[in-house]
Structure 1
Amino acid sequence: MRSVAAGAEEKIKELIVEQGLGPGDPLPTETELMERFGVSRNSLREALKSLQAMRIVEIRRGFGTYVGTMSLEPLIEAMAFRTVVGHRQGRGSLLELLQMREALEAGLMHRLAGRLPEEDLAELDALVARMHTEVREEGEIAARTDRAFHRALHRSLGNELLSELLDAFWSAFHRVRAQGLGTAADGEELARMHARIVEAVRAGDAEAAEAAVHRHFDDIRGRLSRH
């Protein structure tokens, strides 16, 4: 049955592409799909459940099946779980995930330096100021603030897939870190590291911006190693 369901999966994906459907658009009914693909209801439902797990379709009970968000959430879950399992087995999986983030973010500095619009730079300044406030009042930088900083930093690239991938790496890494891996950061120094990135980008100094990113990740790497 699985091979039949797998074939139905591919046919549903082909249908979405051929008809130019996007997130939220309705798919044909189960009966119509069964007749179109020549498969049983069980095989079709198995295919739809698999596609739903990948966020390619969304099954709304009582309403029908729709094209899903096609988000990278399944990738985030898989990366986070793989990293945790590898770490528990004594492999350097968390450091590998960190290295992937570092390579992407540092490599983008040459495209960002001197090119961010003023409104984005102002938002980054405000986020750094919020980091300092959170450290004084809460003792640490909130994850949502750190995430907002990295999103704002890369937004001007205008590459939705790249932004989603960077956010996926961030989410996977922080889901793993939430399990208590690594020592606590010096919040004030962490905020200053983010400020240095903004300063270098504003000045159009790509090399300094890249170096600031590497220093930021060196700090994280050092705390993970001490743990």
Structure 2
Amino acid sequence: MGSNSIGIFENASQSVSLKKESVPNSIMNLITDYLLSKKLKPGDQLPTEQELMSMLGVGRNSVREGIKMLTTLGVVEIRKGIGSFVSSSIPSSAMNPLVLSLLFEQGLSLNLVELRVLIDNGVGELVIEKASDADIAALESINEQIQNVATTHVNAGKELKELDLQFHSKMFEIADNPLITKVGFTIYKLFNVAMENSMVASPVTAYRNHLMIINSIKQKDRLLLRDSVKNSLVVWSQFINGQK
């Protein structure tokens, strides 16, 4: 690791007071602050766990949790046998304050599921009002791809997750509300791991739930829409925060 990175964090240890209940959050904010101020740049190696513990006066678990969260957001990448590095390409969503604040909310699982229900129901209502026949056909096409992958591929969680995001991206496009789209994708960002794990465990479920959503749009049936959204969340919500 470069001496420049060590110096940066040694200075930080003298100027930053980390509260025990928010150590991972503080570590994340510290690193993102240095990225934004150009004191760290993509590709730079981070201090080792032991160095961070010493520099910041915190425990190993706190350091690991902070690094893990940065890795989840795509800010940090782990190179086995070498160490932790600032990612070469950092997604813009990683610096989104809403992503960061939601990531550290207490009761993350229940709160996020409830928020996702509200967003999916709201988007669905708009789609029922605005969808054309061509829009519905596009949703059906994506869902057919999901069915094909789910029934012919093994352990295709990542591919199914991407197709699921395509489906919901199309829903956002039809809803045609940029504010809902921005908030919606922020929420979806936090569900990435849970979504992929649920796709592996129950690959056909997404297809069936999307089919219910499509039918609710065709029939302009808002009650069916709400049932569809609820069913969509039941399986993968169990995977949030490693519950399964």
CA gap of 1:179–1:206, structure 2 versus 1, over 3 A, is: closer
Residue in structure 1 matching 2:182, options 164, 168, 189 = 164
Structure 1 residue 99 and structure 2 residue 114: aligned?
A: yes
CA gap of 1:165–1:48, structure 2 versus 1, over 3 A, is: same
Q: 1:128 touches 1:194 (CA, 8 Å); kept in 2?
A: yes
Rg larger in 1 or in 2? 1
Residue in structure 2 matching 1:203, options 209, 212, 219 = 219
Higher relative contact order structure (alpha carbons within 8 Å, sequence separation ≥ 6): 1
Q: 2:164 touches 2:206 (CA, 8 Å); kept in 1?
A: no
Residue in structure 2 matching 1:189, options 205, 219, 222 = 205
Q: 2:161 touches 2:195 (CA, 8 Å); kept in 1?
A: no
Please give the residue correspondences for 1:1-227 in structure 2 after superposition, counting only pairs within 5 Å.
Answer: 49=36, 72-75=93-96, 77-78=99-100, 81-82=103-104, 92-139=107-154, 140=156, 142-174=160-192, 176-177=193-194, 184-222=200-238, 227=244
CA distance in 2, matches of 1:178, 1:195: 18
Secondary structure at the counterpart of residue 187 of structure 1 = coil
CA gap of 1:48–1:80, structure 2 versus 1, over 3 A, is: closer
CA gap of 1:193–1:215, structure 2 versus 1, over 3 A, is: same
Query: CA offset at residue 77 of structure 1?
Result: 4.8
CA distance in 2, matches of 1:79, 1:216: 25
Secondary structure at the counterpart of residue 191 of structure 2 = helix
Query: CA offset at residue 204 of structure 1?
Result: 0.9
Q: How many residues align?
A: 157
Q: 1:73 touches 1:168 (CA, 8 Å); kept in 2?
A: no
CA gap of 1:178–1:219, structure 2 versus 1, over 3 A, is: closer
Identical pairs, percent: 16
CA gap of 1:183–1:152, structure 2 versus 1, over 3 A, is: closer
TM-score normalized by structure 2? 0.53
Query: CA offset at residue 114 of structure 1?
Result: 4.7
Q: 1:98 touches 1:173 (CA, 8 Å); kept in 2?
A: no
The amino acid that maps onto 2:224 is: A
Query: CA offset at residue 184 of structure 1?
Result: 4.3
TM-score normalized by structure 1? 0.57
List, as ranges, runs of 4+ consecutive aligned residues in structure 1 with deviation greater than 6 Å: none
Structure 1: runs of 5+ lacking an equivalent? 1-45, 52-70, 84-90
The amino acid that maps onto 1:196 is: M
Q: 2:146 touches 2:207 (CA, 8 Å); kept in 1?
A: yes
CA distance in 2, matches of 1:160, 1:194: 22
Secondary structure at the counterpart of residue 143 of structure 2 = helix
Residue in 2 that maps onto 1:68: none
CA distance in 2, matches of 1:81, 1:209: 28
